């Protein structure tokens, strides 16, 4: 559509409309022609010289006018040169030492006495990527947990890739096994293991250049250590529950098992597991709810993980009065005899040494009473008996 003012209007612009347009004015005195090429987009790397083309032909020769994104006008005699800008004789517009601030829409206009025409040039300064996240020192990952490595970049349309310590490369956002490269450039390593240690390299690249970041990673792991275990000996009382504590530290978190006197194993895997009167809590505490003579013996706490194991043994004995035999003697001249046998253990015939210091503390009052009962009458009799003399 060409209105009376000579402007060419193109409606519903499509890619197929790309072309060079010729404006011709004609009358009885002759004709005038102006040619303007199709509009294009331009780009340049930061700190480089950018050239925006705008050649126009016509009779008479058209004047070239450039309008900057900030609406500053450059026109006049070809060859005009400013501080950073230069208007060439062929209509080209030169930007020296271009920067990101020069990005925007530039308009080139060609004007003569026949008419006026302009084109739009979208200029974009491509800046070399810059990686904003730079960790200080070595990144520490925990064995079995997820590791997050960030690579946030600043730049025009950079592509981000990660190279693993073993050489495996993720060049685009994706999930591959335990690795996940996110849209923002963050690399996630799930369920880390010892072999995940090493240097991870992030590369951010565009047409202006490349930025590289190397991230050293170590994976923290150590074998189990029992920090709170049972004492060497535990003495039980019939009917009173016994709690055998076993707390262990380690990375990865160790599993705690108990070895019972019959050499069977009680594990914390899963939920609390009762076996008979034994109950093993998920945190490692062994509970014997109703201890009996059969529960005496050797117990062992076992903590283990991927890197090793630690153990803590304990021996369970029992308090019990085996027999007490009190028998007064017929011979008043002999001291009272009594047999009081005290034994702590599972079986009197097992040969285990008794805990006599504790036993005597409990039975010495009974022995004292027996001595007084048997000895005091004889002593009084001797004191009050009349002496006899031989003739």
Per-residue pLDDT tens digits for 322-340: 333 334 444 444 443 333 3
Q: Does residue 332 form part of some domain?
A: yes
Which residue among 126, 147, 182 closes a domain?
126
Domain containing residue 42: CATH number: 2.60.40.10
Q: Does residue 103 form part of some domain?
A: yes
**DSSP of 126-151, one letter per residue?**
EPPPEE-----SPEEEETTS-EEE--
Claim to verify: residue 345 and residue 310 sit in the same structural domain? no
Q: Does residue 389 form part of some domain?
A: no
- Tokens 């491509």 sit on residue: 126
What is the separation of C-alpha 255 from the centre of its chain, rounded to a whole number of angstroms? 21
Q: Does residue 64 form part of some domain?
A: yes
Claim to verify: residue 339 and residue 314 sit in the same structural domain? no
pLDDT of 318 strictly over 70? yes
Q: Does residue 10 form part of some domain?
A: no
Claim to verify: residue 265 and residue 305 sit in the same structural domain? yes
pLDDT of 73 strictly over 50? yes
Q: Which of 30-44, 97-111, 169-183 has the lowest mean pLDDT?
A: 30-44
pLDDT score at 245: 92
Claim to verify: residue 174 and residue 268 sit in the same structural domain? no
Indicate the number of domains in the chain.
Answer: 4
Claim to verify: residue 30 and residue 94 sit in the same structural domain? yes
Claim to verify: residue 169 and residue 194 sit in the same structural domain? yes
Query: Which residue range forms the structural domain that includes residue 379?
Result: 321-383
Over the stretch 208-251, which tens digit does the pLDDT of each residue have?
A: 889 999 999 999 999 999 999 999 998 888 778 899 999 999 99
Q: What distance separates the 2 farthest-apart alpha carbons in the chain?
A: 194
How many helices and strands in the chain, by DSSP H and E? 1, 35
Which residue among 173, 197, 220 closes a domain?
220
Phi, psi of 31 (to 5 degrees): -140, 155
Mean pLDDT of 78-92: 72
Claim to verify: residue 56 and residue 151 sit in the same structural domain? no
The Cβ-side half-sphere exposure at 332, using a 13 Å CA radius, reads 9
Claim to verify: residue 138 and residue 114 sit in the same structural domain? no
Over the stretch 9-47, which tens digit does the pLDDT of each residue have?
A: 776 666 666 666 666 666 654 455 445 444 445 555 555
pLDDT of 193 strictly over 70? yes
Judge if pTM exceeds 0.85.
no
Claim to verify: residue 122 and residue 33 sit in the same structural domain? yes
Claim to verify: residue 163 and residue 147 sit in the same structural domain? yes
Q: Does residue 2 form part of some domain?
A: no
Over the stretch 248-277, which tens digit does the pLDDT of each residue have?
A: 999 988 999 999 998 888 887 655 455 566
What is the separation of C-alpha 107 from the centre of its chain, rounded to a whole number of angstroms? 52
Which residue among 268, 294, 318 closes a domain?
318
Claim to verify: residue 199 and residue 99 sit in the same structural domain? no
Phi, psi of 362 (to 5 degrees): -85, -30
If DSSP codes are grouped into helix, strand and coil, which group holds residue 29?
coil
Claim to verify: residue 296 and residue 227 sit in the same structural domain? yes
């Amino acid at each position: 559509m060409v209105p009376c003012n000579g402007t060419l209007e193109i409606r519903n612009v499509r890619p197929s409309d790309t072309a060079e347009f010729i404006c011709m004015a004609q009358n009885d005195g002759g004709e005038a022609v102006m040619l303007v090429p199709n509009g294009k987009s331009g780009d340049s790397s930061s700190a480089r010289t950018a050239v925006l083309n705008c050649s126009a032909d016509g009779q008479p020769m058209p004047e070239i006018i450039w309008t900057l994104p900030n609406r500053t006008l450059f026109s006049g005699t070809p060859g005009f040169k400013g501080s950073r800008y230069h208007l060439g004789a062929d209509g080209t517009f030169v930007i020296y030492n271009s920067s990101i601030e020069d990005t925007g829409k530039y308009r080139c206009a060609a004007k003569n006495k026949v008419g006026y025409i302009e084109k739009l040039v979208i200029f974009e300064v491509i800046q070399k990527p810059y990686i904003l996240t730079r960790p200080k020192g070595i990144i520490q990952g925990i064995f079995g947990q997820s590791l997050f490595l960030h690579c946030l970049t600043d730049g025009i349309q950079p592509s981000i890739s990660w190279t693993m310590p073993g050489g495996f490369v993720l060049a685009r956002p994706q999930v591959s096994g335990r690795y996940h490269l996110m849209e923002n450039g963050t690399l996630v390593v799930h369920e880390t293991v010892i072999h995940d240690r090493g240097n991870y390299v992030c590369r951010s690249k565009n047409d202006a250049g490349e930025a590289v970041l190397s991230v050293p990673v170590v994976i923290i792991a150590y074998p189990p250590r029992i920090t709170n275990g049972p004492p060497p000996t535990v003495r039980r009382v019939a009917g009173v529950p016994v709690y055998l504590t076993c707390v262990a530290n380690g990375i990865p978190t160790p599993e705690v098992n108990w070895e019972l006197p019959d050499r069977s194993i009680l594990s914390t895997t899963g939920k609390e597991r009762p076996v008979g009167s034994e109950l093993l809590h998920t945190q490692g505490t062994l509970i014997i709810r109703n201890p009996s003579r059969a529960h005496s013996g050797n117990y062992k706490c076992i903590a283990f993980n991927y890197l090793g194991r630690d153990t803590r043994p304990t021996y369970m004995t029992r308090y019990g009065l085996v027999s007490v035999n009190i028998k007064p003697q017929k011979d008043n001249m002999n001291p009272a005899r009594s047999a009081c046998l005290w034994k702590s253990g599972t079986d009197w015939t097992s040969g285990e040494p008794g805990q006599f210091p504790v036993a005597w503390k409990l039975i010495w009052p009974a022995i004292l009473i027996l001595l007084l009962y048997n000895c005091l009458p004889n002593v009084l009799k001797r004191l009050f008996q009349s002496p006899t003399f031989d003739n």
